[in-house]
Structure 1
Amino acid sequence: MDVVARARIVVADTRWIGLHGIGRFAREVIARLPRVSPLPGSLSLLHPFEAIWLSTLLLRVRPRVYFSPGFNPPLWSPVPLVFTIHDLIHVRFPEETNPRKRAYYHFVVRPATARAYRVLTVSEFSKQEILEWAGLPEEKVVVVGNGVGPEFSPQGKRYEPGYPYVFYVGNTKPHKNFNRLLEAFARSGLLGEVRLVCTGTPSARVRGLIQELGLEKHVVFAGTIPDELLPAYYRGALALILPSLYEGFGLPALEAMACGTPVVTSSVTSLPEVVGDAAVLVDPYDVESIAWGVRRVVEDSSLRKELRRKGLKRAKQFSWDKTAELTWKVLQEAAQEG
């Protein structure tokens, strides 16, 4: 496609598409946007010189609007810019960042929020975080939310490993609160009755903690679960356990509800906003509270039935079509401004 043709459409950064939260947002939203062209070029995502490269590329291509589903704006944009900040984990959790990331957020991301036509985000919680951090006016940040695809439904195959299990979806970074989850599971009184199945592969540190807690036979790591198999893992679980200290949205909670799986999750950040009254909320800083939540949902079949009903109803409020529609509306407005 030549430069003249591109100038009539939105250019989107499709490099974000992948097996992670932003990756799913990118794939689902971009696929639903009309008249969108992928960002040309092949520089790796978040390359040290990416912000300068993006500015140079946009100066040459000059689309009507540049859209990124992630937090990587150009250093300067000759066209209206719309980009997405899903959360401020790298700002709020120093242990998950480094000097280069801190500098990137301070010198690239925050100034870009003021220059951008709009900043998109996925929850009211994240919106307030961004407004406070960047000092922006209310109208500058637009909540487009997240969605859930039709593959996440109660109907379909169930993962059946031969034992009952509760399910954890996520990594083991500090904000995910995985250490407390392990401690809570060890104290739950459920060992021998159910196992904790987790996505990913444990680090040496996590393996050491599991051994210290006597959980070697009770915690199973499933590795990277392909998207097409993930619904089966949700359906087969007694419950999803998501005791994060911080989430910009909490997509696993929504996916679990859409599959009819009860959810135990944190009473902080965006998670109550996502689950409403359709989950058991626990204090993520209190190991006993997490253990109580896990034990309660495993031992009470009536509660699981109620959470299943409420969760299915709650999940219907979210869709990728709605997210894409809200995103496209902002992009059209940006094109008119340009």
Structure 2
Amino acid sequence: MPHGVSTEFFTPELARAREFLTPNERPFRLLGVGHWLRDYPMALKAVAQLNALGMPCEYTIICHNFPAGLELPSNVRVVSGLSDDALLASYHQADALLLPMRSATANNAVLESMASGLPVFTTDVGGIAEMTDGAAFLAPAGDAQALALGIHHAAYHPKIRQEMIQAGLKRAQSLNWSRVARQLEAVYHEAITCKERRHAGR
């Protein structure tokens, strides 16, 4: 069964209608969320690549257990202890999710980002490709340069971001918990029906 997301809570910010500004107008706002199986060393390398390309950007990481020993450049900050409403506001204030993974069968932050109208940049590991179903930019595992170049291209081409947002919203809606629950009910119903048929045939 697929992993689901609450599209009733994680929704696009309709009041502001996301500003499609380029890094020429203000720093591009990147967001990272969580700690389990996140590849933050790769994320920081991608930010370093963006810095080297001269792209103004800011990377905010929401994480209560950030790996010790990682040196953070001046345009990266780590915060923790956010409420659900503050987390949703962070999704709305960002321009893209930068969240490379070391492994994953599913990921809440990726689904929440798509449901909140945020383009997703992550890695092609585990079940991420199946979960996002073409709605996210997937870099090869460990390839920080590919990740940075994908972000750089989208940052300067708002139309690409708009297409990613629409694809992400569509995918998130297909994984709404109500739909996932109905799928699960159908599986249980089929299993019970098959069992009853087997017993009836004895």
Inter-partner Cα distance in structure 2 for 1:291 and 1:185: 7
The TM-score with structure 1 as length reference comes to 0.48
- Is residue 323 of structure 1 aligned with residue 185 of structure 2? no
Q: Deviations over 1:17-69 (max 9, x none)?
A: xxxxxxxxxxxxxxxxxxxxxxxxxxxxxxxxxxxxxxxxxxxxxxxxxxxxx
Q: Provide the secondary structure at the position in 2 that maps to 1:204.
A: coil
The TM-score with structure 2 as length reference comes to 0.77
**Paired position in structure 1 for 2:142:** 285
Q: Provide the secondary structure at the position in 2 that maps to 1:188.
A: helix
Q: Provide the secondary structure at the position in 1 that maps to 2:98.
A: strand
Paired residues of 1:156 and 1:232 also in contact (CA < 8 A): no
Inter-partner Cα distance in structure 2 for 1:251 and 1:157: 24
**Paired position in structure 2 for 1:185:** 47
Within 5 Å, which residues of 2 pair with 1:209-224? Answer: 209-210=71-72, 215=73, 217-224=74-81
Q: Provide the secondary structure at the position in 1 that maps to 2:92.
A: helix
Paired residues of 1:239 and 1:297 also in contact (CA < 8 A): no
| Change in CA separation of 1:156 and 1:309 when aligned onto 2, cut-off 3 Å | closer
- Is residue 198 of structure 1 aligned with residue 61 of structure 2? yes
**Paired position in structure 2 for 1:98:** none
| Change in CA separation of 1:191 and 1:250 when aligned onto 2, cut-off 3 Å | farther
- Is residue 148 of structure 1 aligned with residue 43 of structure 2? no
Inter-partner Cα distance in structure 1 for 2:162 and 2:188: 41
Q: Which amino acid aligns with 2:39?
A: N
More deviation, 259-268/289-298: 289-298
Q: Which amino acid aligns with 2:46?
A: A
Higher relative contact order (CA 8 A, sep 6+): 2
Q: Which amino acid aligns with 2:63?
A: G
Q: Deviations over 1:89-125 (max 9, x none)?
A: xxxxxxxxxxxxxxxxxxxxxxxxxxxxxxxxxxxxx
Q: Deviations over 1:263-307 (max 9, x none)?
A: 112122211112122221211211211221222222221211111
- What stretches of structure 2 of length at least 5 have no aligned partner? 17-25, 197-202
- What stretches of structure 1 of length at least 5 have no aligned partner? 1-142
Q: Deviations over 1:146-166 (max 9, x none)?
A: 2223111113678xxx96410
| Change in CA separation of 1:277 and 1:327 when aligned onto 2, cut-off 3 Å | closer
| Change in CA separation of 1:243 and 1:218 when aligned onto 2, cut-off 3 Å | same
**Paired position in structure 1 for 2:133:** 276
Paired residues of 1:167 and 1:198 also in contact (CA < 8 A): yes
- Is residue 314 of structure 1 aligned with residue 171 of structure 2? yes
Inter-partner Cα distance in structure 2 for 1:192 and 1:288: 14
Q: Deviations over 1:236-277 (max 9, x none)?
A: 111011211211112212111111111112122211112122
Inter-partner Cα distance in structure 1 for 2:50 and 2:27: 17
Inter-partner Cα distance in structure 2 for 1:292 and 1:244: 17
| Change in CA separation of 1:258 and 1:220 when aligned onto 2, cut-off 3 Å | same
Paired residues of 2:34 and 2:62 also in contact (CA < 8 A): yes
| Change in CA separation of 1:192 and 1:267 when aligned onto 2, cut-off 3 Å | closer
Paired residues of 1:284 and 1:290 also in contact (CA < 8 A): no
**Paired position in structure 1 for 2:31:** 167
**Paired position in structure 1 for 2:200:** none
Q: Deviations over 1:144-203 (max 9, x none)?
A: 532223111113678xxx9641001121x5x31111111111111366722100112444
Superposition RMSD in Å: 2.6
Q: Provide the secondary structure at the position in 1 that maps to 2:84.
A: coil
% identity of equivalent residues? 26
- How many Å apart are 1:228 and its aligned residue? 2.3
| Change in CA separation of 1:276 and 1:290 when aligned onto 2, cut-off 3 Å | same
Within 5 Å, which residues of 2 pair with 1:1-338? Answer: 143-155=1-13, 164-171=28-35, 175-189=37-51, 193-201=56-64, 202-206=66-70, 209-210=71-72, 215=73, 217-328=74-185
Larger Rg: 1
| Change in CA separation of 1:191 and 1:221 when aligned onto 2, cut-off 3 Å | farther
Paired residues of 2:62 and 2:80 also in contact (CA < 8 A): yes
Instruction: State the number of aligned residues.
Output: 182
